[in-house]
Amino acid sequence: MIQEIKQILRKEWTVEWRQKYAIQGVFWYSLTVVFLCYLAFGSVKPMVWLSLFWILSLFTAVNAITKSFVGESKSGMAYFYTMFSGKSVLVAKIIYHWMLSLFLSMILLGFYSLLLGSPVQKYDLFFTGIFLGNTGLAVALTFLSAISHKARSGASVMAVLSFPVLIPTILLAIKISKMGMDGLPWSTAMHEIGQISGIILLTGALSFLLFPYLWRD
């Protein structure tokens, strides 16, 4: 299985690198959108800064991950089907999206802090929030992308499906990163860190159990 996951990851990477438009698109998208926010807001209060950052992060992640299964052609899926087991496809896609969304949110944060400044006081806790939040996003969105792949109009269904399901993850991630932003000690965030990890594990376990039912056609 680990061998299979490695192969799929390599394939994802190769495809991504070959058709550079996708990752370039997201890159320029985040730059444009941050620039737009800068023009619209000028300077912002810390709480607005944080909320705006998470909303941008969410949209970037949804944009980047939606295409995963939705973008996969029918013949491509058929080929996948003959080559690999469903579970290793899922795990590989989750790992790939996890790295992708972390990478994208780092780029986003870079642009964002450059133009709008950064009120963060305690970076380690703040980054823990980003790390956990993006992990949650990657796990849930990968699975939801697989679900909406089965619907006729993939991308719009994806948005309807994903936002409500993601609310707890986003809320907790905002809470944790807000504590980092305010420079609170680690001990205050432990409760939330535990909860978000629980949600991530639960979503991961559910996707792992349910993915085979989506996979066979």
Interaction of residue 54 with another protein, rule CB under 8 A: no
Alpha carbon separation from 108 to 43, 130, 213, 214 (Å, rounded): 17, 11, 35, 33
- Smallest distance, another protein to C-beta of residue 196, A: 9
Interaction of residue 51 with another protein, rule CB under 8 A: no
- Smallest distance, another protein to C-beta of residue 165, A: 5
In this complex, which beta carbon is closest to another protein, that of residue 137 or of residue 172?
A: 172
Question: Residues 204, 98: contact at Cβ < 8 Å?
Answer: no
Among candidate residues 142, 130, 156, the one with its CA nearest the CA of residue 203: 142
Instruction: Please list every residue from 141 through 170 that binds another protein, using CB under 8 A.
Output: 143-144, 147-148, 150-153, 157, 160-161, 163-165, 167-168
- Smallest distance, another protein to C-beta of residue 72, A: 16
Among candidate residues 82, 98, 210, the one with its CA nearest the CA of residue 146: 210
How far is residue 212's CA from residue 217's CA, in Å, rounded to a whole number? 10
Contact pattern for another protein over residues 67 through 106, marking x by CB under 8 A: ----------------------------------------
